[in-house]
Structure 1
Amino acid sequence: MKKRIQSLFMNELLAYLFFGIATTLISILSRLVIYQLTHKELLATALANIIGILFAFITNDTIVFKQARQNWPRRLVKFTLARLSTFLLDLFLTFLFVTQFPNIIGQFVNNNIDKVNTIETAISQFLIIILNYIFSKVFIFKNKKI
């Protein structure tokens, strides 16, 4: 079993998918918990994204793309800028579909704002996973450990 798990992390795409799912779950759970505690959808979105960005950078840099220790601050800046763009997309979609026009999704869930927020969260995270992989693979993690 241990060798299977190790082989999973030797395959870049499988490791990325595993940690992408883990990041997504951490982001979604953080966002939903923060939202339930505060009922402030934009605050929940912002804090969940920060938590997700930090977790994703650490796992992508060290495990997925197996980067050398040097130049990690530069990669962190690039990673943060790329994630900032998807963060802004997430905020925009939250504002659009939860804050400004909740009836677009709400018409399908009896205008239950909690369900609207949950559905919008799932849709946003799906788009963000795809964009983040493209940014990471093409622009950020290009050099492997030697």
Structure 2
Amino acid sequence: MAKYIVSEKVKYLFWGIVTTVFYLVVRLISIRVINNDMIPVIISQFLTILFAFIVNKFLVFSQVQKKNIFVQFMNFVLGRLVVAGLDFFLTYIMIDRYSSILIHLLFLNKINFQAIPFSIPIVHAIIPNSVQLNSFIVIILIQIIAIIVNYIISKYLIFD
């Protein structure tokens, strides 16, 4: 049991969730400060790449590694840029361009945003309407995809 708890996949999942929370906090704060959908993606991706490299290098894939740290970092950044590109693409398609379609398909426009849980002040501050709920759902979906793709890239191409 103890071996499973400290396994690489469990550590990656734990730190992946922490990194996702970090990303979400940075992105949601950026969205509130900057009235734009795409610039917060740049800010949150940049800061999250730095955070994730440190976490992955020293806490997840901590076994002896053959590659130079600079090479690992450059490969890590390249891998994360691929995921950032995916983030941009999905944000553009699912939030900027076609959010109304998703809102109708998911019936988000039928939700009463004055009822619980949306009436809770902290929730209402983040998700006051169907457009913001769509954005939140898409951001979570993108992060799930990112965790999976980033693990594969990190495990097999960077920290091997």
Structure 2-normalised TM-score?
0.78
Q: Which residue of 1 aligns with 2:17?
A: 21
User: How many residues are paired up?
Assistant: 137
Letter in 1 for 2:34: T
Query: What are the equivalent positions in structure 2 for 1:1-146 lying under 5 Å apart?
Result: 10-66=6-62, 71-107=68-104, 108-110=107-109, 112-142=130-160
Q: Secondary structure at the match of 1:41?
A: coil
**Could you report, residue by residue, the CA deviation over 1:18-53 in whole angstroms, capped at 9, with x for unpaired residues?**
111100111011111111222211011111111111
Distance, in Å, in 2 between the alignment partners of 1:9 and 1:44 is 34
How many percent identity over aligned positions?
33
Q: For structure 1, which runs of at least 5 residues remain unmatched after alignment?
A: 1-5
Query: Relative to total residues, which structure has the larger helix share, 1 or 2?
Result: 1
Distance 1:8 1:45, change over 3 A: farther
Distance, in Å, in 2 between the alignment partners of 1:59 and 1:19 is 7
Structure 1-normalised TM-score?
0.85
Distance, in Å, in 2 between the alignment partners of 1:141 and 1:86 is 17
Displacement after TM superposition at 1:112 (Å): 2.6
Letter in 1 for 2:56: N
Q: For structure 2, which runs of at least 5 residues remain unmatched after alignment?
A: 110-128
8 A contact 1:9–1:64 mirrored in 2: no
Q: Secondary structure at the match of 1:139?
A: helix
